[in-house]
Amino acid sequence: MPRIFELDPHVADLIAAGEVVERPASVVKELMENSIDAGAGIITVEINAGGMTFIRVTDNGCGIAPEDAKTAFLRHATSKLRGPEGLEAIGTLGFRGEALAAIAAVSRIELLTRECGPAEGVSLTLDSGTVTDMSPTGCPEGTTIIVRDLFFNTPARLKFMKTDRAEASAISAVVVRCALSRPDVSIRFIRDGKTEYHTPGDSRIDSCIYSLFGREFFAGLLHVMAEDEGVSAEGYVCLPAAARGNRSYQFFFINGRPVRSRTLQAALEQAYVNNLPSGRYPSCALYITTGLSNVDVNVHPTKAEVKFVSDKQIFDCVYYAALSAKSNAECGMRNAELSSVTEREKSNAECRMQNAELSSAMKREGHSEFRIPNSEFEKPHNSQFAIHNSQLGDVTVRETSNAECRMLNAELSSATKREGHSEFQIPNSEFASFRIPNSEFASDTDIRVIGEALKVYIIVEYRGGVWFIDKHAAHERIHFDALRADGYEPMSQSVITPVVCRFGFEDAALLLDNADMLDKLGFSIESFGDDSIAVRRIPAEIDISDTEQVLSEICDELKLGGAAGPARRDNIFRMIACKSAIKAGKSSAAHELEVLASRVMSGEVSQCPHGRPVAFELTKATLDRGFKRI
């Protein structure tokens, strides 16, 4: 008896639908792309309840002829591709002819459409992909598609949906990306009856960005324009000071298509490598134009990722565009600070020279010192030199760097020898036998804090030995343990003016969905517009200026998904403990050192939350041996 059967077409459709329609945001993306492909100049997106009950996309595009209306909802039915030769150079956003069929399979649809010309249009309704009604109707030119009750017939998929707020934010992010991708199209987004934003569609990138993100965001941007051998990049990158705690404001477009690409991300971030500490990311809206055949868009089912024929050329174009915008801005800023005209002129001349050098370096073939090959990013590195090397593209540079390292090491060791350091070196075994403070250690009266060394270590004399305590590690551990303790009550500070952090639509929604958990940690947050949150209370120990960074790291942790188990909770605690602990590198008040030392010496903590020791002892014997007393 045969056990292999062809799937019922309806079941096959439901399976295929899962690939394209993951959540309401995917529906909006596909419908907007269709509107753009139809040549629309105005698109309105309206959603209710995170798009789960109602999504309506209206456009003034070319419309669908009545005889094509049903066909549009069949799988692999498209007007955008005829034969395989068309796949070589795809200029439309869609081409697979899957979206409408996939959406229809998992929802109830109403289509109203009229072509330019005929007096009447057509209305079509479908239920789970089956046409239930089709009739001529009067309607404006263009197309309106209403999608109701998404996933009503696939309960398993329904279970994966997040809160309405999170789904709405994901939709908002899609609409923003689409609006940014086409400043020549006017896009309005209405959420639960309220217009969230409306772009003018005047073909200007600046007015588009302004209408989506507001004045403050726009003020932190620099204009970028570059062209090199058939690749051009235009748009905006941010001033280093306006960098953010995450990448949600990095927008890249290739030939009008929003894309994610490690090459582009790496090119942008590399241009900021010397300006930004780790954990800060540049924002951008960059529009790259290149020949259609230089890009392969058919590598991802939702076409979100692309491949380039020449990664290097694209990387260079973006990297140098961002670099020269930044260096121009630096010159401008420096000029503003220079008072005399002569100084200003001198600086201008220097800038011009620098820029000239930069652009000639761009053109020169041997400019590989500046480049990072993409593949290098993927590799894990375990030594500093390896990281350093990975940033150096070609073999010559890498060898020079290795030679430099060797020289550095040679110099170091000869210097050590010269100064006779080696004689003082304390054998490792001594360290291995160090005592760990424990509760049997005696009272405060036995502890004498000598002081602080290198703004990192507290030096303590205790019962015939000298102890070194890493003040940051110790403090971090004490906080970490406190956070984990049962019944922990956070000490919060209310901030007079709420700190407004712009996280991007999805991250803001994620944090708001976890507001209860954040409240337990001492953060009180509320929604502030669509993509921002207002923070009214923060844990007492956290510096106000760290608020955005801490929340953004919590967000990254939450994004890892899965159950909110103890490991995730500990990661968040660890991070908060680290941020709230006194910092190495900053002097501490004497009483702070004393309190910390006595807590460490009482055995309260012995390792930091990352597992490093918090204290170790140099015994009298070790010191005596070092001085050849014994």
Positions in the binding site for ligand ADP (CB under 6 A): 30, 34-35, 37-38, 59, 61-64, 72, 77-80, 94-101, 143
Is residue 362 within 8 Å of residue 327, measured between CB atoms?
no
- Residue 38 binding: pick among ligand ADP, Mg ion, none (C-beta 5-8 Å cut-off by kind): ligand ADP
CA-based torsion, 580, 584, 588, 592: positive or negative? positive
- Residue 531 binding: pick among Mg ion, ligand ADP, none (C-beta 5-8 Å cut-off by kind): none
Question: Cβ of residue 39: shortest distance to ligand ADP, in angstroms?
Answer: 8
Residue closer to ligand ADP, measured from CB, 190 or 466: 190
Question: Cβ of residue 101: shortest distance to ligand ADP, in angstroms?
Answer: 6
- Residue 447 binding: pick among Mg ion, ligand ADP, none (C-beta 5-8 Å cut-off by kind): none
Question: Cβ of residue 85: shortest distance to Mg ion, in angstroms?
Answer: 20
Residue closer to Mg ion, measured from CB, 94 or 240: 94
- Residue 201 binding: pick among ligand ADP, Mg ion, none (C-beta 5-8 Å cut-off by kind): none
Residue closer to ligand ADP, measured from CB, 73 or 320: 73
Question: Cβ of residue 78: shortest distance to Mg ion, in angstroms?
Answer: 7
Residue closer to ligand ADP, measured from CB, 61 or 129: 61
Question: Cβ of residue 254: shortest distance to ligand ADP, in angstroms?
Answer: 18
Residue closer to ligand ADP, measured from CB, 141 or 592: 141
Beta-carbon contacts of residue 451 (< 8 Å; ≥ 6 apart): 458, 459, 593
CA-based torsion, 386, 392, 393, 394: positive or negative? negative
| Alpha helices (H) along 195-310 | 205-213, 215-219, 262-271
- Residue 470 binding: pick among ligand ADP, Mg ion, none (C-beta 5-8 Å cut-off by kind): none
- Residue 204 binding: pick among Mg ion, ligand ADP, none (C-beta 5-8 Å cut-off by kind): none
Name the closest residue to ligand ADP (Cβ).
Answer: 94
Is residue 453 within 8 Å of residue 460, measured between CB atoms?
no
Is residue 43 within 8 Å of residue 35, measured between CB atoms?
yes
Residue closer to Mg ion, measured from CB, 68 or 557: 68
Residue closer to ligand ADP, measured from CB, 306 or 558: 306
Residue closer to ligand ADP, measured from CB, 51 or 609: 51
Q: 3-class SS at 107? A: coil
Q: 3-class SS at 98? A: coil
Does residue 230 come out as left (phi exceeding 0), alpha (psi in the -120 to 50 range) or beta? left
Residue closer to ligand ADP, measured from CB, 83 or 561: 83
Is residue 357 within 8 Å of residue 366, measured between CB atoms?
no
Is residue 200 within 8 Å of residue 207, measured between CB atoms?
yes
Question: Cβ of residue 57: shortest distance to ligand ADP, in angstroms?
Answer: 7
Is residue 61 within 8 Å of residue 185, measured between CB atoms?
no
Question: Cβ of residue 157: shortest distance to ligand ADP, in angstroms?
Answer: 19
Residue closer to Mg ion, measured from CB, 36 or 499: 36
- Residue 80 binding: pick among ligand ADP, Mg ion, none (C-beta 5-8 Å cut-off by kind): ligand ADP
* Parallel, antiparallel or unpaired: strands 42-48 and 186-191: parallel
Question: Cβ of residue 140: shortest distance to ligand ADP, in angstroms?
Answer: 13
- Residue 368 binding: pick among ligand ADP, Mg ion, none (C-beta 5-8 Å cut-off by kind): none
Q: How far is CA 216 from CA 261, 441, 501, in A?
A: 27, 56, 12
Q: How far is CA 567 from CA 56, 189, 285, 376, 557, in A?
A: 41, 39, 36, 30, 11
Question: Cβ of residue 299: shortest distance to ligand ADP, in angstroms?
Answer: 16
Is residue 258 within 8 Å of residue 93, measured between CB atoms?
no
- Residue 64 binding: pick among Mg ion, ligand ADP, none (C-beta 5-8 Å cut-off by kind): ligand ADP
What value, to the nearest 5°, has the Cα angle with vertex 181 and ends 175 and 182? Answer: 95
Question: Given the rule CB under 5 A, which residues bind Mg ion?
Answer: 34, 94, 99
Name the closest residue to Mg ion (Cβ).
Answer: 94
Q: What is the CA radius of gyration of the chain?
A: 31
Question: Cβ of residue 198: shortest distance to ligand ADP, in angstroms?
Answer: 20
CA distance 292 to 301: 19
Residue closer to ligand ADP, measured from CB, 94 or 504: 94
CA distance 347 to 472: 42
Bridge partners, 459 (sequence order): 451, 468
Question: Cβ of residue 260: shortest distance to ligand ADP, in angstroms?
Answer: 20
- Residue 61 binding: pick among Mg ion, ligand ADP, none (C-beta 5-8 Å cut-off by kind): ligand ADP
Residue closer to Mg ion, measured from CB, 94 or 235: 94
List the one residue out of 256, 533, 575, 96 whose CA is nearest residue 525.
Answer: 533
List the one residue out of 113, 38, 107 whose CA is nearest residue 70.
Answer: 113
- Residue 311 binding: pick among ligand ADP, Mg ion, none (C-beta 5-8 Å cut-off by kind): none
- Burial pattern 580-604, b for ≥16 Cβ within 10 A else e, equals bbbeeeeebeeeebbbbbbbbbbeb
Residue closer to Mg ion, measured from CB, 99 or 321: 99
The helix (run of H) or strand (run of E) holding residue 111 is strand 108-114
Question: How many Å is the maximal CA-CA distance in the chain?
Answer: 107
Question: Cβ of residue 64: shortest distance to ligand ADP, in angstroms?
Answer: 5
* Parallel, antiparallel or unpaired: strands 250-254 and 284-289: parallel
- Residue 172 binding: pick among Mg ion, ligand ADP, none (C-beta 5-8 Å cut-off by kind): none
Question: Cβ of residue 177: shortest distance to ligand ADP, in angstroms?
Answer: 17
CA distance 630 to 624: 6
Residue closer to Mg ion, measured from CB, 34 or 374: 34
- Residue 95 binding: pick among Mg ion, ligand ADP, none (C-beta 5-8 Å cut-off by kind): ligand ADP
- Residue 35 binding: pick among Mg ion, ligand ADP, none (C-beta 5-8 Å cut-off by kind): ligand ADP
Question: Cβ of residue 24: shortest distance to ligand ADP, in angstroms?
Answer: 16
Phi, psi for 209 (deg, rounded to 5)? -60, -45
